[in-house]
Amino acid sequence: MLDIQHLLAAFAGAVVGFTLSLVGGGGSILAVPLLVYFVGITNPHLAIGTSAVSVALNAALSLIGRARSGTVKWRCVAVFTITGVIGALIGSFFGRALNGKVLLCLFALLMVVVAGLMLKHRNAEGNPKVRLNRDNFPRLVAFGLATGLLSGFFGIGGGFLIVPSLMAATAMPIVNAISSSLFAVTAFGISTASTYAFAGLVDWAIAIAFVCGGIAGSVVGARAAKILAAKRGHLTTGFAGLIFIVAAYMLYRSLIGSTGV
């Protein structure tokens, strides 16, 4: 039987799914703060493990539609993902070993970085014909490993870390980077979630409710994105501002908690 916490998880999932569809990514970084401060999961490590499962499943579902559109650069993202999964497994090990309050504080700082990347690349263009080659291969390996480490450490899908990384490594357009990133988000999420799941740090009932809400939110967000397509840059700017606010709140809560006030 569903209780209020599961209903809150479904609503939080809908928010994440909506923003993912509306601005093309970044919504997953809100999953952990929503699970901690809105749904009420008091253990940060449990929130991160549950978030990793939820983000991976939502990304896999979104990838299906993107694959049909033909905008996924499979070879480039495959190289990126292979090294990224290795990084995610390493990162998740160190993330689980860190104090929960410190982890949330560092997560908030990462959110500030992500918001800055969103603003920087909101109107970026690139080469839609880009292919895997000897020039971009080493950059894909390096960016993949670094992004995977951060994704695993913080238990996020890393979409808005992956998107600018793919663009920097290959100069692909943002539309291809967003679509391709879903493959990496799914793989990173599965690898991170598996380590947390083996440690018993996943609330499966909350994760299922979150994913169900995410599906509904994605449908609404996709329709809104078509209507507001011409204003996507403005939407991304506004969403980046929201991330800054949430990050400031997390830092405030983490610092207050650590001083015992």
Q: What is the 3-state secondary structure (H, E, C) of the chain?
A: CCCHHHHHHHHHHHHHHHHHHHHCCCHHHHHHHHHHHHHCCCCHHHHHHHHHHHHHHHHHHHHHHHHHHCCCCHHHHHHHHHHHHHHHHHHHHHHHHCCHHHHHHHHHHHHHHHHHHHHHCCCCCCCCCCCCCCCCHHHHHHHHHHHHHHHHHHCCCCHHHHHHHHHHHHCCCHHHHHHHHHHHHHHHHHHHHHHHHHCCCCCHHHHHHHHHHHHHHHHHHHHHHHHCHHHHHHHHHHHHHHHHHHHHHHHHHHHHHHHCC
For 17-50, how does the pLDDT look when each residue is reduced to its tens digit (9 = 90+)? 887 766 655 566 788 889 988 999 989 889 888 9
For 67-123, how does the pLDDT look when each residue is reduced to its tens digit (9 = 90+)? 888 889 999 999 999 999 998 888 888 887 777 777 778 878 877 877 777 677 666
Asked whether residue 218 carries a pLDDT value surpassing 70, the answer given is yes
What is the domain extent for residue 52? 4-259
State pTM to two decimals: 0.76
As for how many domains the chain has, the answer is 1
